[in-house]
Amino acid sequence: MTKQLRPAVTVFAALTLICGVLYPLAVTGIGSAAFPGQANGSMVEVNGKAIGSTLIGQAFTSPHYFWGRPSATAPMPNNAAGSGGANQGPTNPALIDAVKGRIDALHAADPANTAAIPIDLVTASASGLDPEISIAGARYQAVRIAAARKISLEQVQALIDQHQQHQWFGFFGESRVNVLALNLALDRAKPFVKG
């Protein structure tokens, strides 16, 4: 029995050390050295303080900022610990009511805007953490933001163009813009002061 047990324990201990300690340390070290921002969560810092990640959406509600995609995570929006969608079908009354409420909120924030509302501004993504919106979603909000910040519409549209992320390899995905990056650019261009 001891003859069989000793090699099994030795192999178990060696594989635990290699796979459970050495390999994760090596991968973490290489990742941190080669891609420090990504390995540490793609955090965005302003004045030395982390304010968010480029990978996780945030719930902006002020008319002075671009609003991101709605989030259906529980117990709060954009909860990275509870990633997931609402799992409601297109005929579910709860989904229909949620979309109507989001449409009403967009109309209330910008009553003069009669343009068609892009779908990504009223429906949550499967993860509930989407940090980006479509270019159409950003352009839909541009007039509201220009008026709220008292800057020209052309300035807001130029910021959208500057922060546009194109399709991967020219055909994968859709052109989009990161909401946090765009809102930070807005604050650099024309700081919003509450009051």
Interior/surface letters 160-174, b for 16+ CB within 10 angstroms, e for the rest: beebeeeeeeeeeee
Residue in 163, 182, 193, 192 with CA at minimum distance from that of residue 67: 182
| pTM confidence score | 0.81
User: Of residues 3 and 193, which shows the higher confidence score?
Assistant: 3
The pLDDT-based confidence of 84 (bands split at 50, 70, 90) is confident
C-alpha separations of 152 from 64, 68, 156 in Å: 13, 21, 7
The predicted model gives 40-60 an average pLDDT of: 88
Indicate the helix (H) or strand (E) that contains 53: strand 49-53
Domain ranges across the chain: 1-40, 42-189
**pLDDT, tens digit, for every residue of 108-118?**
999 999 999 99
